[in-house]
Structure 1
Amino acid sequence: MFSLKNKTALVTGGASGIGLAITKAFAQAGASVHILDLNSEQAEQAADGINQSGGQATGHAVDVSNQEQTIAVINQIAASGPIHILVNNAGVSHIGTVETTTEADFDRIFRINVKGVYNCLYATIPHLKANGGGVILNMASVAATLGLSDRFAYSMSKGAVLTMTLSVAKDYLKDKIRCNCISPARVHTPFVDGFLAKNYPGKEAEMFEKLSKTQPIGRMAEPEEVGALALYLCSDEAGFVTGCDYPLDGGFTRLNA
């Protein structure tokens, strides 16, 4: 089950954290994975690691907020064979209320988290249509549907990802393109460790425990758990699933009352 053999998948932000977990899960399932990442060195290293483990991956340096660059890279990939799967995972975080969010902060979050998703959709959907269908998976967040403190701009961007998911799912039903999104709560990635080291020096373990317990299940998710759900949603076994948002949140959305 959940084989992606003979499938070509694009994963943005696929060189680290959740994106890397998705990349590895797809490669282990037999997909040829193209890692689209701003950090070219990390993309190449991630691809090398997968290839050395018997998988198939290629790294590409891409700024998803740049439409011209995004289209060029995706067209280049499509020229070598059909694209079957797009995972829009690339994104950045931001902490702040509306008053503490500068215009530059807001524009950056919008440019990467919203326009970046749009650019990849814009570049990839014509290829999926030409190939007779495919799968799109967007990375949203529990912030898309819940009020989280100090996450004004980030919540805005993930709300947009959720509604773009619904719109694309509706518009491309006739083209046999499925589109869903995953909404994680806190996931233990290198970003979390870096955030704690920067903002709570000497109290990293204490704060990690506190953040972990905000999930009713009592811990953060592991990136591999997101990768497993992504694999299912992009596999043929999920062929009846489209236009859905999947909370992966340890009970955060419904059990926190």
Structure 2
Amino acid sequence: MSELSEPTSDLSGLKALVTGGASGIGAATAGLLADRGADVAVLDLDPSPVDKPLRAYCGDVSDDASVRSAVAAAAHELGGLDILVNNAGIGAIGTVEDNEDAEWHRVLDVNVLGMVRTTRAALPHLRASAHAAVVNTCSIAATAGLPQRALYSASKGAVLSLTLAMAADHLRDGIRVNCVNPGTADTPWIGRLLDRAPDPAAERAALDARQPMGRLVTAGEVAAAIVYLASPAAASVTGTALAVDGGMQGLRLRPQAR
């Protein structure tokens, strides 16, 4: 291909693994990767919602043996691994006063070390790929101070730094590493959060209003960004955090006149 040729976005022949791929952003990403031609495996604590042609593997990103077993099985059945999407994660609410040490350890173990474990297990397969890409699901919480999100924000701040360090470490292995920073996304976790609110409708309205576009980000919109970063179209993109947040991080709009 000449340097002036447009990079292809076709994923035919590529092998992808998506953690936390049974619901929400992960499910949207796995489905879009498959629609674009990739052969896709999903690793999840409960992979039962996953339908063919996706391959499903039960795995716990907080357990190294479980991760190594699932990644090895997926790579064997797929015939290699070109794309890793580190999406599995859990939420947390509260200030620094509101969570005990055990909860801090639990959330960091899943949200940060979970990515470490999965990437570590996948690296030998990614190094053998002619098109290797890792995309981590980060968050607007890594770059903006959000109330009642101290633990979650700390975990996603670590994911952002981890992404940059991994991009530097593995560039010469031929592996690109990027992350996506969603704003508040309309996912099952947000749905559960709203269900517990005293006034779910008012809470949703407040979350919508917090984003300049006036609505929550959709799982499909985040998936589109992840798939772009994983695709050959982003062949020169590494060490980047792509915000999909309705302008929440960078825009400062004046209040609308009443």
- Settle same-fold status: TM greater than 0.5: yes
Distance 2:159 2:189 in 1: 21
Deviation at 1:133, TM superposition (A): 4.8
| Structure 1 gap ranges (5+) | none
Q: 2:169 aligns with which of 146, 168, 171?
A: 171
Structure-2 separation of matches of 1:15 and 1:113: 17
Matches within 5 A, 1:102-251: 102-200=100-198, 203-251=199-247
Answer whether contact 2:14 2:39 (CA < 8 A) is retained: yes
- Report the counterpart of residue 35 of structure 1 in structure 2: 42
**Secondary structure of 2:173's match?**
coil
Partners of 1:137 and 1:131 in 2: CA distance: 15
- Judge conservation of contact 1:88–1:117 (CA < 8 Å) in 2: yes
Q: Which residue of structure 1 lines up, in the alignment, with residue 23 of structure 2?
A: 16
- Number of residues paired by the alignment? 245
In structure 2, distance between residues paired with 1:131 and 1:218: 41
Question: CA offsets per residue over residues 19-62 of structure 1, 9 Å max, x none?
Answer: 111011101001111110011xxx2322x2xx2xxxx2111110
- In 2, the alpha carbon distance for the partners of 1:179 and 1:215 equals 27
Superposed CA deviations along residues 82-125 of structure 1, whole A, max 9, x for unmatched, are 10000000000100111111111101101100110100111011
Which structure 2 segments of 5+ residues have no match?
Answer: 1-7, 254-258
Provide the aligned C-alpha RMSD in A: 1.3
Structure 2 counterpart of 1:239, which letter? Answer: A
Other structure's SS at 2:224 match: helix
Q: Secondary structure at the match of 1:69?
A: helix
Partner residue, 2:73: 76
Is the CA contact 1:132–1:175 (under 8 Å) kept in the aligned structure 2?
A: no
Matching of residue 67 in structure 1 with residue 71 in structure 2: no
Residue in structure 1 matched with residue 9 of structure 2 by the alignment? 2
| Cα contact 1:64–1:120 (8 A) shared by 2 | yes
| Residues 189-226 of structure 1, C-alpha deviations (whole Å, 9 max, x = no match) | 122122111122xx222221111110011111110001
TM-score, normalization by structure 1? 0.92
Q: Secondary structure at the match of 2:54?
A: strand
Q: CA deviation at 1:179?
A: 0.4
